[in-house]
Amino acid sequence: MKLTVQLGEHAHEVEITQTSERRLFSVDGKSLEAEAVELAPGIFSVLVNGRSVEVRIALAGKQLRVLAGAQEWSAEIRDPRKYGRGRAGAFEAEGRQQVTAPMPGKILRVLVAAGDAVNAGQGLVVVEAMKMQNEVRSPKSGTVERVMAKEGQAVGAGDALLIIA
């Protein structure tokens, strides 16, 4: 995904690439060694140069409010159509979305079936990792097109769990 982010007077070209292992970031053509895992809609755990930071992103109109640790930034989305219509406090993905496992683990429960209508942020699958249960939530409102996850199945980080259309 490529986007232009306006921070103050400066525009930055940001590219995010999802691999089976992790998300890769590039800012203004320079690679950034970072990994991000979405903990909940609009809340990310980001590892940059070995340091972990919780990042919260809230959408209000065309403005993003980004909180990282004790720092706060305001950013403008240049093309808001890429981010859907959003709900208060977070943005919503648009288009057909493949939902993937955020970490290696075991599928404990599949909470939806093909054909089910879901809302952004709704729980879809529960993954157990390191004796903790992690609910994987929907990145958008839509209909479950296909479920690949099965209860009891072992999954790796980035494995496809289901598709939301």
What is the signed CA dihedral for 156, 160, 162, 163, rounded to 10 degrees?
160
Q: Is the pTM of this model over 0.85?
A: no
The structural domains of the chain, with segments of one domain joined by +, span 2-83, 97-164
CATH number of this structure's domain 2-83: 3.30.700.30
Check residue 38 and give its pLDDT: 79
Check residue 86 and give its pLDDT: 42
Q: What is the DSSP letter of 87?
A: B
CATH architecture group of domain 97-164: Beta Barrel (2.40)
Check residue 22 and give its pLDDT: 64
Per the CB < 8 A criterion, the answer to whether 78 and 64 are in contact is no
Check residue 79 and give its pLDDT: 54
pLDDT digits (tens, 9 = 90+) for 106-118: 999 999 999 999 9
The series of mean pLDDT values per 10 residues for the chain, 165 residues long, is 73 75 76 76 78 79 75 67 44 74 90 92 88 85 93 90 92
